[in-house]
Structure 1
């Protein structure tokens, strides 16, 4: 990618059920040099939008590209994208469509998707949206390590149901240049060594990692939501990765 003369802008995108508010504590610790850090609420995750349940992955990818346009992102001044968890679907689309606009992608307890991936292929067609499950069910799906009762209550209170179309839409990718974008994996609930082992054995969830040309792996041991359990440390990882990638 093109070397920039100043630090790239940083765009923070949280996973399912979450909006820009999920990054508040990280933003408090994120120091930037001649750049901006912007947290994004994707289409479908704005609780005040009466049409949010109809939003698609294409809508979300288009919104990220609109953020790029607003920041003046270009091939000469590409941005860093930080994608947590289920934000990997729209961000994978952005990487496929405009890899030249991305200085670095930081996957936070997440990773790139392979073409054809669908988050919830068995989601009933009649289900318009998927609310945050109970904490008991959520804990079976992802690690809640490091989250206080207060944080979990805030999560429950502010979570917005995930639109059904987002969960059903296949991720269609065609541009191998997405694999040339510099990439940092921040591994939290699964150690980096295990992620790499799964990638090289062809595990469906991690197989695309093996195709990345410029990869750094950083372990940040905690649960699946490090923006709440280790916000200062996550901010440092993001800042360091973004400033050294060129």
Structure 2
């Protein structure tokens, strides 16, 4: 299976490096992406928005002959959902790592403090305690050293979706900061935060308790969970 890995904010393709070994060992082909504007600290970020990133993932899908699995961490969840909307017949499964699908008209996070055309990685004090579970001082220092400012418009642009076949794409939710049972309670309560997720017809939930960056805090376990989800994915002949 071809697996496209989409990082969350402030991260590039290398952020998946400790997650991919079990996938490669199992014979899968991995395609970690560095999205436009995240190539380097001094890369231009003006004019890069949410659609730019979705289009980059769609282009990666189109380069592959056959079905793909999309994996999106954090804000990358909104991006892979946009790609599934654009190519619902090509995506065998969407895996959301401490994230979920963003519905039409939603924004990823327009509350992040911006500086011009970009959003630098904020001070740790601006994150919730749950975000930072297991992210020890060494991991925090390494994360901040590798972090690249996120294009502001990616965080603030509204999602635009067009094809309801996206609800037929099976989804896996990997819950890290809070248990998946809470997400399912929100769905039962018709919480608008999970309104788009509630419309997906085939959803499985997997708990991986840690903070918001399991690719750093529990990378081997995250790789194993993704592998198991891929192995459960059926592909039409």
TM-score (ref. length: structure 2): 0.91
Aligned length, in residue pairs:
234
Are 2:80 and 1:80 aligned?
A: no
Are 2:223 and 1:238 aligned?
A: no
Are 2:206 and 1:213 aligned?
A: no
1:180-219 residue pairs with structure 2 within 5 A?
180-219=168-207
Residues 215/149 of structure 1: CA separation in 2 closer, same or farther (3 Å cut): same
Counterpart-to-counterpart distance in 1, 2:127 and 2:111: 18
CA deviations over 1:14-73 (Å, ceiling 9, x no partner): 111111111111123334544301211111212166322421111111111222233x23
Displacement, 1:178? Answer: 0.4
Counterpart-to-counterpart distance in 1, 2:38 and 2:132: 21
RMSD (Å), alpha carbons: 2.0
Q: Secondary structure at the match of 2:89?
A: helix
Are 2:151 and 1:157 aligned?
A: no
Q: Residue 117 of structure 1 contacts residue 171 of structure 1 at CA under 8 Å; is this kept in 2?
A: yes
Q: Residue 199 of structure 1 contacts residue 208 of structure 1 at CA under 8 Å; is this kept in 2?
A: no
Q: Secondary structure at the match of 1:207?
A: helix
Counterpart-to-counterpart distance in 2, 1:161 and 1:205: 26
Are 2:217 and 1:229 aligned?
A: yes
Gaps of 5+ in 2: none
CA deviations over 1:189-211 (Å, ceiling 9, x no partner): 11001011112323232221211
TM-score (ref. length: structure 1): 0.88
Gaps of 5+ in 1: 1-7
1:111-130 residue pairs with structure 2 within 5 A?
111-121=100-110, 127-130=116-119
Residues 136/81 of structure 1: CA separation in 2 closer, same or farther (3 Å cut): same
Counterpart-to-counterpart distance in 1, 2:159 and 2:87: 15
Q: Which residue of 1 aligns with 2:120?
A: 131
